[in-house]
Amino acid sequence: MTYCVGMKLDKGLVLMSDTRTNSGVDNISVFRKMFTWQVPGERIITLMTAGNLATTQAVISQLEERTKEPDERDNILLKTPTMFQVATEIGNLMRNIIGERQEANGVKGRGRFTASIIVAGQIKGMEPRLFMVYPEGNFIEASLDTPFFQIGETKYGRPIIIRGYDKQMSLEDGVKLLMVSFDSTLKANLSVGLPIDVQVIGRDEYEASHEHRISHDDSYFSAISAGWGDALKNAFHSLPDYSFYRGDD
Amino acid sequence: MTYCVGMKLDKGLVLMSDTRTNSGVDNISVFRKMFTWQVPGERIITLMTAGNLATTQAVISQLEERTKEPDERDNILLKTPTMFQVATEIGNLMRNIIGERQEANGVKGRGRFTASIIVAGQIKGMEPRLFMVYPEGNFIEASLDTPFFQIGETKYGRPIIIRGYDKQMSLEDGVKLLMVSFDSTLKANLSVGLPIDVQVIGRDEYEASHEHRISHDDSYFSAISAGWGDALKNAFHSLPDYSFYRGDD
């Protein structure tokens, strides 16, 4: 399984992805699921992937034209004029890769080669954009009503984002919020695991404003994880107490 | 979908179930999913059901022997000597009902007639017990390590129970904790809906210590729902702030 979140704030984009891949609980590996291409001062584009690892690696490899000799490669994403066009290219590429693999194996409908990709970034002269690309090749864009996308094991960590999100929050608070969401997910599902990759794309910076890998000995993440249990208990006790004998019964 | 939780505390059992059933989002009904049989002073047995509604209704109907004339009926659960035997009977009954329906429709493996049942209760002279019965007819019992069972849409509401559970908490706090868990689930998934049924089985009372149906105008649940958002935000802000420039990087 996987857990990745992309969140759009007024001040920019906050991205976070775990690194666990598993084929059964006895076959666990660490793979990066966050991929970035940037031309500092002009554009930054980051992808986060969930689903079949062979499929998502094939998408990344084709974007980087790894079938060609190194000096003939020309990354598609670095020339695409708009983020909308970037999402379109990635959608088409992914749909083709999944389609080929399904056809070769005689799979119909949504088969086991399926994958989803969150696409985030900003190109000079345009707004920061956040897309969710589906295995069918189509995609949706984040809006004021739906300002974040999750892929993979999305449910455990969703309530805290719904409750904590504020589009005016600082980018630092955005990182903190997603860390709490990841901590809730890690506590509930073995197939999502540390280390976690963090990236912040500040508005109009056209490069990663902040990048960090949270590993097992990360003192800040440990403090959040330990503190959140107590903070939740305090929150719980701050609510009015229930009584079996109530006036409004 | 459905959301039901049974939780075992030192002081007894706390049970909560929603009432929404749906076949597509445009075909929503209210059905009670909590069923209780009691001989006050001797035993109380409560079932909570998730899954195919025809299957779970068939289980309940057969337990009540509704195929017989009313004056010939003799509820199985009221004569069974132990809670273990109650869980066994329910498991066998459910497996047979699912099996018949699958066979009649040519379905192999875990088909669409599947269901799960939480069984809770206490019989005089024995401990309060909590079981989860699977569609295959087998079951597990709650223990110190796993003191609660959820069925249906379990993920959204799980992190708060993991964080908030304390076996020594009062039964009232148990109700409050499950209300927060239900509120998180209701906020995230349309297919879980009010009203919610609440039942508390106090240790050695052999009858329902408290029963309540939470409807849309329930003032306490509204206060919990409104207060939890603020309480979570306070909890979030009480955690140490994140900084892009940290000493341990």
Side-chain-side CA neighbours of A75 within 13 Å: the count stands at 14
Contact call for residues B1 and B52 (beta carbons, < 8 A): no
Per-residue pLDDT tens digits for A101-132: 988 888 877 677 899 999 999 999 999 999 99
| pLDDT band (50, 70, 90) for residue A249 | very low
Residues 6+ apart with CB under 8 A from A246: B220
Q: Identify the DSSP state of A78.
A: G
pLDDT greater than 70 at residue B6? yes
Give A240's contacts in chain B (Cβ within 8 Å): 220, 223-224, 227
A200 pLDDT above the threshold of 90: yes
Q: Give the architecture (CATH level 2) of A3-237.
A: 4-Layer Sandwich (3.60)
Residues in chain A: 249
The string over B97-110, giving b where at least 16 C-beta atoms fall within 10 Å of a residue's C-beta and e elsewhere, is bbbebbeeeeeeee
| Beta-carbon contacts of residue B155 (< 8 Å; ≥ 6 apart) | A155, A156, A188
Burial class (CB in 10 A: 0-12, 13-18, 19+), A6: buried
Give the residue on A whose Cα is nearest the Cα of B186: A159
> What pLDDT, on the 0 to 100 scale, is given for residue B107?
82
Residue B111 burial by Cβ neighbours in a 10 Å radius (0-12, 13-18, 19+) = middle
Q: Shortest Cα distance from A238 to chain B (angstroms)?
A: 7
Predicted confidence (pLDDT) at residue B221 exceeds the cutoff of 90: yes
Test mutation, B7, B205, B239, B243, chain A, max A CBs within 10 A: B239
In the structure, what pLDDT confidence band is assigned to residue A246 with cuts at 50, 70 and 90?
Answer: low
Q: What is the pLDDT of residue A206?
A: 96
User: What are the start-end ranges of the E strands in B41-107?
Assistant: 43-51
Return the DSSP state at B27: -
Give chain A positions within 8 Å (CB) of B241: 172-173, 176
Kindly report, residue by residue over A126-151, the tens digit of the pLDDT. 999 999 999 999 999 999 889 999 99
Contacts of A236 in chain B (CB under 8 A): 160, 164, 176-177, 180, 231
What interface predicted TM-score (ipTM) does this complex get? 0.84
A19-40, pLDDT tens digit by residue?
988 766 677 778 899 999 999 9
Spell out the domain ranges in chain B. Answer: 3-238
Q: Quick one: pLDDT at residue A25?
A: 66
3-state secondary structure of A137: coil
Chain A residues close to B190, C-beta within 8 Å: none
Nearest CA in chain A to B244: A210
Most distant CA atoms of chain A, gap in Å = 78
Distance from CA of A216 to the nearest CA of B (A): 13
- Sort out which chain B residues have CB atoms less than 8 A from A220's CB and list them: 240, 242, 246, 248
Are B229 and A163 an interchain contact pair (Cβ–Cβ within 8 Å)? yes
A240/B223 Cβ within 8 A: yes
CATH number of B3-238: 3.60.20.10
> A239 vs B224: CB contact, 8 Å cut-off?
yes
- Closest residue to A159, CB basis, from B187, B238, B243: B187
Nearest to A232 among B163, B188, B224 (CB): B163
DSSP state for residue B87 in the 8-state scheme:
H
Report CB contact under 8 Å: B220, A210. Answer: no
Judge: B159–A188 Cβ closer than 8 Å, yes or no: yes
Q: Pick B242 or A190 by higher pLDDT.
A: B242
